[in-house]
Amino acid sequence: MDLGISGRVALVAASSQGLGLACATSLAQEGVRVTLNGRDDSRLEAAAARLRRAVPGAEVGVVTADLTTPEGRGRIVAALPEVDILVTNNAGPRPGPYSAWDADALHEALAQNAVPAVELMRAYLPGMRARRFGRIVNITSAMVKSPAADMGLSASARAALTAAAKSISKEVAADNVTVNNLLPERIDTPRQEFMARRRMERDGITRDEAYAAIAATVTARRLGRPEELGDACAFLCSAQAGYITGQNLQLDGGTYEGLI
């Protein structure tokens, strides 16, 4: 299917690896001019080189900036003043019990996983609305709908972003600008490696055993592949997806137990 977005301009936040890079790759395969973002210049340039090799002819730029700071976000917008597609993303807070959720931890979680996305949306929405095309995809987490006991910081901050995104989607839909969220769980990325190592240390098991234990919690009995999420992101950014907005698409191998 031709997604109708060849030549469009995209910013993918926190995209030097993992889900962000997967989304950037899928968009580049559709002919989108992609800019990657990250804090480490060498890792970012290496990711851009990998993407160019994976998608020959792809137009790939980079902007090194910490999107959790006003200065970093300002650097991003200065380097890329107008985009047609915005994919927001960032690593989540460390897991932990509620006893660790003091005011500083709560503020930091919001600063990582809610404020940057909302601020980038605010920066780019006027141009999208004026041009009457815009696609925003926020990578949040399955924890938004089914928080685990030790993931409250992540779930709370991402739920705040979900609420903001829904409100924004109502205001901009008539201008052909959509705002949707991807809710991944158990995708085979460096984040999952971190979770596996926590399980190895806690349970005294091998890496293979840790990954098998994680896969056993998924209804599909496997981890998701990054490119599966990337392709879902690309479709939500397509011309054909203009009637899909304000939605939360779960990529969890069927694990979520609820109806809605």
**Whole-angstrom Cα distance, residue 87 to residue 20?**
8
- Tell me what pLDDT residue 191 has: 85
- Tell me what pLDDT residue 22 has: 98
3-state helix, strand, coil in the chain (%, to 5): 50, 15, 35
- Tell me what pLDDT residue 195 has: 87
DSSP symbol at 188:
S
Q: Which two tokens stand for residue 19?
A: 């889900």
Please, what is the Cα angle at 192 between 142 and 185, to 5 degrees?
Answer: 15
Per-residue pLDDT 10s for the chain (260 aa) are: 899 999 999 999 999 999 999 999 999 999 999 999 999 999 999 999 999 999 999 999 999 999 999 999 999 999 999 999 999 999 989 899 999 999 999 999 999 999 999 999 999 999 999 999 999 999 999 999 999 999 999 999 999 999 999 999 999 999 999 999 999 999 999 888 988 999 999 999 999 999 999 999 999 999 999 999 999 999 999 999 999 999 999 999 999 999 98
- Tell me what pLDDT residue 53 has: 97
Beta bridge partners of 63: 37
**Whole-angstrom Cα distance, residue 165 to residue 108?**
20
Which contacts of 97-105 are long-range, i.e. CB under 8 A and separated by 24 or more positions? 97/149, 97/150, 98/152, 101/152, 101/153, 105/153
